[in-house]
Structure 1
Amino acid sequence: MGIEDPAATFEHIRSDFLHGSLDVAQAEAEEARERFASRDANWSMKFRLLEGEILTYQGRRTDVLHLLDDKTVSYPDTGDAAIQRDLLCGLAHAGLGQSQQSDQELRQARVLCDLSNSHLDGEVFNAEARIQLNRNNLTAASDLYRKSLQAARGHADAFLEASDLLNLGYVALQMEHYDEAVALLQEATKFARSVQARQVTEAAMGDMGDAFYRLGDYEKALSNFQAAEKEAREIGTTSAQVVWLWEAGSSYYKLGDLKEAKTCYERALKSATAINATDQISDIETQLALLYFQEGQFDSAKIQSDEAVRAANLSGDKGAEIDAKFVQALLAIHQPNGQDAERMLMEVYESAEGAPYVRWQIEDGLAKYFTVRQNQKQAEIWYRRSIQTFEDKRNEVTDEELKLPFFANGNDLYRDYASFLIASHREDEALKLLDLGRARTLAEGLGTRKNSPTLREVMNPQAIARKLNAVILFYSLGSEKSYLWAITATHTSLFLLPKEQEIESHVQTYQKAILRSSDALREANVDGRYLYDTIVAPAASMIPDGAKVFIIPDGGLNGLNFETLLKPGVGKLHYWIEDVTLTNANSIRLLSKVDSVSSSNEADNLLLIGNPVSSGTEYESLRNAPAEVDEIKRHFTVDRETVLTQAEAVPSAYGTVRPDRFEYIHFVAHGTASRLSPLDSAVVLSASTAHPEEYKLYAREIVHHPLHARLVTISSCYGSGLRAYAGEELVGLSWAFLRAGAHNVIGALWEVNDASTPQLMDRLYGGLESGSKPDEALRTAKLAMMRSDGVTRKPMYWAAFQLYAGS
């Protein structure tokens, strides 16, 4: 057996560490340290320090100190080994809340590094930055991380470079610079993967989840946190696993799943306690306190918030302390006298200066406090201030895709103020306020809205209903109660509805029945009847038979086709479509831009794309696509149509033909809808010979081709999309075409039938050819199928397609 090469062993262990095998690397480093203790004290020290570095990444701070404070070991006073020991001990003491000891050790590391011009200067900058970050000194932390990054690049230290990019992204996130944070985290992820720095990749994945969370995209955040937690568990970074676990709990909390949220919090708290991570304990205790507060368990919430404040004080984490004290202030509002609540809220408000994400929540809390105290003037001041703080932060987000989910952060602020206005008998103002929160990104993209909206803007819903000769039904669903405003040319009425969960439960059950191909009418489906009686019937006296009705849905109502609701009639039950012509809209403001008298005599021309070549993709050929193409073509003269099928129906062709020239655009193809990334929804077309992997026309590409089309029809599955963002409603292919400028879009709520769809489309275009408007033509086509004796009478076949109004 040959003599062991300590350098080779060291590099092997360090490689395992850098590539994410922390448990293996730690055990190997411990064994090597013990093996070389009697052979070579210098190498034993190097293995000891390497083991300390691994333990630091595992979050085992007490074990780091036990290892590096071993009195039986002689430590050098100068040089890289002394610097590294001071850094590791300083970080461990900081994590345990022992700031005085930590500061002393890091100062010593800085002195030693400067004296020797050590190549560890980047590591020293990095450690100093972490301390500043923990103390919420974000500007100082950012400056230090940039110095560390410069040093890392100068020393060709790829791992430190990846770590610094990650931390700069995290600091940008804490500074609420979301565009910058996402860009830095994406760069960190790409670089970390290129050098196989698995723990940096895991952390970047989790931090991206944090970015999505703060942007209001809780589903995408949850997906990232779960993936990061799994990765952290596999590579052995316990402290990181704790963070992603409780962050996943916070996502569940925002999504309304309090049971799953509590499970995540309790698991995270158990692990954090095991490694004595006081900074993490404080965050978790605060989240548990909020959960108990939400459930009305105020005594339990107080216990948790008191524990959170204690842990925050121990760790020295100022941000965690503010969050915990805010929960204490919310609890004080619910005390019989509530005398301390205002003082406590104002204290945390002043402490949160420079943190808008926290400030607008505190401002909303102050508004609620003054509402409870019946100080209407002060309550309104704080409600408006909370919304303005939110709007100022939203305006800083420039990336349209990042801005889409952001309104979820302000949704409760708008609802709370609206409830205040309704309680003050100012129902019309409440309607205008809630409408200001709808379709913001869509309106901004279309150029109808440049700045943050205000209640001072003139909007007359009745005038808009009069112009459209229609009834407008505006819904707002809430956790405790929901609202319906019905608007006609002469009246606006408010109706109280059940809470969101109750309504959405019936929507989901009814949807499942429709998708099972049940005959809802013949079966007198109980959910179809409940939904009509609950969400439409209160306003029935304002909706005459034959009326045009614009639905502005909210939440789970986005996935419901109101035409399928079962209305009682004289002697018989019937689908509501038999009485009214329905169109979905995004906001009353955008409806004000709709031309109610658009001419049916305009030059009709058609762009028809579809019946693609499926070879080379995972999608089967649509057997009836050729028939649908032929049926639609016959409604237009040859000189008025551009038809791209088979090999010509490639994604790039859509932009090449200049879609802004066409009155009608029709797709006959498969469609995909992405719930986590709605702008990744796509029309599946033919692959080009040069680029066989490119066969999808994505929603994110569609928005960049301006349109003036009277009607875009997406004759494919899930054209409406699967994801409803707060304020923006369903986002997918239909939204993308509306964003591009289409006046009307027809998209499918569910998987459509390849056999019955050509019939529907033939009748639709027959109606358009005879002069009907899109809403009338689509209704007529649906009624013909619904009144047949065959299987197409079932709503699964005729009700999938829905009309969406643009501007």
Structure 2
Amino acid sequence: MDPAARFEQIHADFLGGHLGLAQRAASIERRALFSRDPAWSFKFCLLEAEILSYEGRSRDVVDTLADGTRSFSPRGDAAIKQEILLSLAHARLGQSQLASEELQQAQRLADSTLSPLQSEVVRAEGLLADRNGQQSTAASSFRKSLELARRQKDLFIEATDLSNLGTEALHQERLDEALDRFNASSAIAGSIHANVILQGVLGNAGWAYYSLGDYEKALVSFQQAEIQAKNLGATDNEILWLQSAGLSLYRLGDLKQAQSYYEEALRAADASHDAARKAVTDTSLGQLLLQLGQLDAAKARVDEALKTAQQIGDKASELDALFLQGQIAARTSNGADTERIFSQVYRDAAGTPSLKWETENAFADLYASRHDVRQAGLWYRRAIKTFETQRSSVQDEELRLPFFANGDELYRDYADFLIASHRSDEALQFLDGARARTLKEGLGESVQATQVQPETPSHTARRLNAVILFYSLGPQKSYLWAIDRNGTHLFVLPPEAEITARVKSYQADVLKSHDPLREGNSEAQWLYATLVAPAQALIPKESRVFVVTSGSLNDFNMEMLLKPGQSGSQEGAHYWIEDVSLSMASSIQLLSRLAPDKERTANKLLLIGDPVATGEGYPPLSNAASEVESVERYFPPGDRTILTQSAAVPVAYVDSHPEQYSYIHFVAHGTASSLRPLDSAIVLSPPHADPDNFKLYARDVIHRPLHARLVTISACYGSGLRNYDGEGLVGLSWAFLRAGAHQVIGAVWEVNDSSTPQLMEQMYHGLAEGEQPDQALHAAKLSMLHSQGVFRKPLYWAAFQLYTGS
């Protein structure tokens, strides 16, 4: 084959990500042409070296280029390309001075010849600057390279530069911008089938999600990128995504699996002699070992990381290692050395908000351990301010949802400090100000975490004639504030892991259709004794209770807790629902704006449901028509709009002007997304003109303002599947609250098509008799609980929760 045609063929394989195949083919051509056409032989040599560079085989890059020059002296563009590849290889091998000299030579050659490789030279400058922790210089170089690439219509370099600029935006934690860059890079890379770029973009997007606190989505991206990098043979990126996946697992609390990922990344970094990746992974593993209390092992790792980072001039890795060194010093001594290390990190962390607030929080913890209340409080408030400033920079509402996970530890530490300082009411106000932040912002509320409440929590409880239970689960200990008309009362509860294990165990029994009351379920009894009994004296029988939950309690119905009989006996034991009428609340701050429910003159109903089956895994609902009939009969014909069968299409919701209705009711299948909660949807009928568009998505619901007294989502998983720290369960119910609904009923698990119409008929009967939504739902559930059939089990009546808005 003609060398030019063969070169293009191999280059296409390289772009497509067939790195091993392309590298071997380029090597064969290089050797075959070595004697008879040295110029073409060297072109294949450069292509082979570039492929090896993407595989992370830096030593092989140097050896291959040295072998290629044995019978050929490169000039012009060939010499420039050689110097670029050598510079990047030596940088990865930790030979920063040699790398700098080679890049300078490439720059001189490119400038003197006005080479079309100028964009590649400038891109390499950016990569070296990035490795040296010079982020602003790197970003400037990538922007210049991008401008040159666009002028030269080099789509490969353009896509690479966009990806690199996204990475630089990540370094500066401009997260919206980073994702925009990655999306643009992905579109261009896809158009030229450059899988070698796409896997990097996928992993970098994972870092954006990680920085947003969305560790589940980040883990998925990292794992997918690692698989792609492994298939491509891109060892350098494979190491990076292994380490990144380990970090996500660490943040998710799976320390054993995280350690496994770190150790695999370290083995790969040692084998490929990648000093930069080794420094980062050593630091991550050291952080994990510190968490496990293995201080000597953690110190050995951080010392190794610091030594490597200093040798290769990687300032960012050096700073991370220094911070970990300070954390270890704080555990082993309380002396000046700890302050010196933290001060050094703090001086250099100005451009990295997350490291800045972590250092401020570390200072606060240090002063708190010394009982220096004034300094500790000062540094905690600084850390919160830094975090809040960074959170406010995220403009996209969906991206802002998971962000609080980044600051959860800050808020918890400051609350612990306030409680230890005998300021528990202040701690409650502080924690409550951080709850439902994105929801409150969407509703137009002022949401500064430290703002003064419009009324005290006890005033809110008195005005609503209710008891408020506010939970805050934490890794070492958890808290319950019980608020009644007379004041607030703090109770210390077990660690989150212990509570969560019991919640999951009990919920699993319920979903298996067990009968906890007859079986005397021990988990249900333990949970009542732990979560409610401490405040039992403050909750008289027939109380109205609002619960502000946390962690695993967000998707758990506390009505089905088992309260023991007198003197703790099994005789007389009953579900907690028999004593109280319970509603879920997002925050006390939102409850303080809740007006007592008044009788309305216009009670108009919008009912959408009983859709045409789509054939997409959503079978017909055999009892949907009967539920529609049982609900609609409680509203006069002139006050109801009923959209069923082929009329129950997604666009009909918007076209019906839902803001004019007091009641909105859906009878359909529901879907919930854990990775993208606003993709949760109500499954309706497929429109004739667009049969694939049969879902009403949560993301569409939030953009249509509502004034409904009650929205009922009679569908599976209407409450959603995804818990966000500080925000709670996000899905369809959250979306309708965000749109302005006063109250929403949604399901936390799959609902039964036979029992649900009965429950809804009973509830609407109560509403028609003048009961408030919480009272009507409570009575409907009790009617099922007191029945003699299978519907008495919590599986059938406890799926639905009532969520109170504002």
- Structure 2 match to 1:137: 134
Change in Cα spacing, 1:299 to 1:180, as seen in structure 2 (3 Å) is same
Root-mean-square deviation over aligned CA pairs: 1.1
- Quote the Cα distance in structure 2 between the aligned partners of 1:282 and 1:63: 21
Identify which range, 742-751 or 158-167, moves more after superposition. Answer: 158-167
- Quote the Cα distance in structure 2 between the aligned partners of 1:569 and 1:775: 25
- Quote the Cα distance in structure 2 between the aligned partners of 1:189 and 1:652: 31
- Quote the Cα distance in structure 2 between the aligned partners of 1:270 and 1:101: 26
The answer to whether 1:550 aligns with 2:549 is no
- Quote the Cα distance in structure 2 between the aligned partners of 1:448 and 1:646: 39
- Structure 2 match to 1:600: 599
Q: Is the contact between residue 38 and residue 72 of structure 2 (CA under 8 Å) also seen in structure 1?
A: no
The answer to whether 1:376 aligns with 2:373 is yes
The answer to whether 1:515 aligns with 2:511 is yes
The answer to whether 1:483 aligns with 2:482 is no
- Structure 1 match to 2:25: 28
Q: Is the contact between residue 545 and residue 579 of structure 1 (CA under 8 Å) also seen in structure 2?
A: yes
- Quote the Cα distance in structure 1 between the aligned partners of 2:644 and 2:736: 20
- Quote the Cα distance in structure 1 between the aligned partners of 2:224 and 2:333: 44
Give the aligned residue type for 2:649: V
- Structure 1 match to 2:460: 464
Give the aligned residue type for 2:582: L
Give the aligned residue type for 2:581: T
Alignment of 1:654-673 (within 5 A): 654-673=653-672
Shift of 1:458: 5.3
Alignment of 1:592-741 (within 5 A): 592-596=592-596, 598-741=597-740
- Structure 2 match to 1:566: 562
Shift of 1:296: 1.0
Picking from 487, 492, 495, the partner of 1:496 is: 492
- Structure 2 match to 1:286: 283
Q: Residue 183 of structure 1 aligns to a residue in which SS?
A: helix
- Structure 2 match to 1:104: 101
- Quote the Cα distance in structure 1 between the aligned partners of 2:291 and 2:451: 30
Length, aligned pairs only: 802
Shift of 1:457: 5.2
- Structure 1 match to 2:143: 146
- Quote the Cα distance in structure 1 between the aligned partners of 2:431 and 2:254: 25
Shift of 1:74: 4.4
Give the aligned residue type for 1:557: L
- Structure 2 match to 1:760: 759
Change in Cα spacing, 1:628 to 1:456, as seen in structure 2 (3 Å) is closer
Q: Residue 253 of structure 2 aligns to a residue in which SS?
A: coil
1:672-726 Cα shifts (integer Å, max 9, x gaps): 0000110000000011111111000000000000000000000000000111100
The answer to whether 1:417 aligns with 2:414 is yes
The answer to whether 1:190 aligns with 2:187 is yes
- Structure 2 match to 1:313: 310
The answer to whether 1:527 aligns with 2:523 is yes
Q: Is the contact between residue 483 and residue 496 of structure 1 (CA under 8 Å) also seen in structure 2?
A: yes
Picking from 295, 299, 311, the partner of 2:296 is: 299
Picking from 141, 149, 152, the partner of 1:155 is: 152
Q: Residue 517 of structure 2 aligns to a residue in which SS?
A: coil
Change in Cα spacing, 1:54 to 1:459, as seen in structure 2 (3 Å) is farther
Shift of 1:337: 4.3
TM-score by length of 2: 0.98
1:417-437 Cα shifts (integer Å, max 9, x gaps): 000111111111111111111
- Quote the Cα distance in structure 2 between the aligned partners of 1:48 and 1:556: 57
Give the aligned residue type for 2:400: K
Q: Is the contact between residue 604 and residue 662 of structure 2 (CA under 8 Å) also seen in structure 1?
A: yes
Give the aligned residue type for 2:270: T
Q: Residue 642 of structure 2 aligns to a residue in which SS?
A: strand
- Quote the Cα distance in structure 2 between the aligned partners of 1:454 and 1:499: 25
Q: Is the contact between residue 42 and residue 69 of structure 2 (CA under 8 Å) also seen in structure 1?
A: no
Q: Is the contact between residue 359 and residue 389 of structure 1 (CA under 8 Å) also seen in structure 2?
A: yes
1:553-582 Cα shifts (integer Å, max 9, x gaps): 100011210100000123411000000000
The answer to whether 1:267 aligns with 2:264 is yes
Q: Residue 746 of structure 1 aligns to a residue in which SS?
A: strand
Shift of 1:162: 1.2
- Quote the Cα distance in structure 1 between the aligned partners of 2:209 and 2:181: 14
Q: Residue 516 of structure 2 aligns to a residue in which SS?
A: coil
Identify which range, 756-765 or 192-201, moves more after superposition. Answer: 192-201
Give the aligned residue type for 2:34: A
Give the aligned residue type for 2:75: T
Picking from 533, 536, 544, the partner of 1:540 is: 536
Change in Cα spacing, 1:456 to 1:777, as seen in structure 2 (3 Å) is closer
- Quote the Cα distance in structure 1 between the aligned partners of 2:600 and 2:174: 50
Q: Residue 506 of structure 1 aligns to a residue in which SS?
A: helix
- Quote the Cα distance in structure 2 between the aligned partners of 1:57 and 1:226: 19
Q: Is the contact between residue 429 and residue 453 of structure 2 (CA under 8 Å) also seen in structure 1?
A: no
- Quote the Cα distance in structure 2 between the aligned partners of 1:337 and 1:746: 52
- Structure 2 match to 1:586: 586
Shift of 1:75: 4.7
1:325-380 Cα shifts (integer Å, max 9, x gaps): 10000011112443300111000110111111110001110111111122111111
- Structure 1 match to 2:802: 803
Q: Residue 69 of structure 1 aligns to a residue in which SS?
A: helix
Shift of 1:323: 0.4
Shift of 1:154: 2.2
Shift of 1:164: 1.1
**Identical aligned residues as a percent:** 52
- Quote the Cα distance in structure 2 between the aligned partners of 1:17 and 1:77: 23
Give the aligned residue type for 1:195: I
- Quote the Cα distance in structure 2 between the aligned partners of 1:72 and 1:15: 25
- Quote the Cα distance in structure 1 between the aligned partners of 2:208 and 2:311: 27
Give the aligned residue type for 1:503: I
Give the aligned residue type for 1:574: H
Alignment of 1:57-456 (within 5 A): 57-70=54-67, 73-76=70-73, 78-449=75-446, 452-456=448-452
Change in Cα spacing, 1:157 to 1:72, as seen in structure 2 (3 Å) is closer
- Quote the Cα distance in structure 2 between the aligned partners of 1:469 and 1:643: 36
Q: Is the contact between residue 283 and residue 305 of structure 2 (CA under 8 Å) also seen in structure 1?
A: yes
1:42-77 Cα shifts (integer Å, max 9, x gaps): 111111111110011111111111222349614535
Shift of 1:455: 4.7
1:738-797 Cα shifts (integer Å, max 9, x gaps): 000000000000000001100000001000000000000000000000000000000000
Identify which range, 251-260 or 610-619, moves more after superposition. Answer: 610-619
Give the aligned residue type for 2:208: A
- Structure 2 match to 1:783: 782
- Quote the Cα distance in structure 1 between the aligned partners of 2:671 and 2:755: 19
Q: Is the contact between residue 662 and residue 710 of structure 2 (CA under 8 Å) also seen in structure 1?
A: yes
Q: Is the contact between residue 453 and residue 589 of structure 2 (CA under 8 Å) also seen in structure 1?
A: no
Shift of 1:194: 1.8
Q: Is the contact between residue 601 and residue 771 of structure 1 (CA under 8 Å) also seen in structure 2?
A: no
Give the aligned residue type for 2:591: L
Q: Where do 5+ consecutive residues of structure 1 fail to align?
A: none
Shift of 1:533: 0.5
- Quote the Cα distance in structure 2 between the aligned partners of 1:626 and 1:37: 79
TM-score by length of 1: 0.98
Q: Is the contact between residue 431 and residue 449 of structure 2 (CA under 8 Å) also seen in structure 1?
A: no
1:460-494 Cα shifts (integer Å, max 9, x gaps): 11111111110000000011110000000102111
1:249-307 Cα shifts (integer Å, max 9, x gaps): 00000000000000000001100111011111111111111101111111111011101
1:653-681 Cα shifts (integer Å, max 9, x gaps): 11111110000000000000000110000
1:579-624 Cα shifts (integer Å, max 9, x gaps): 000000111101111112x213431110000011113433111110
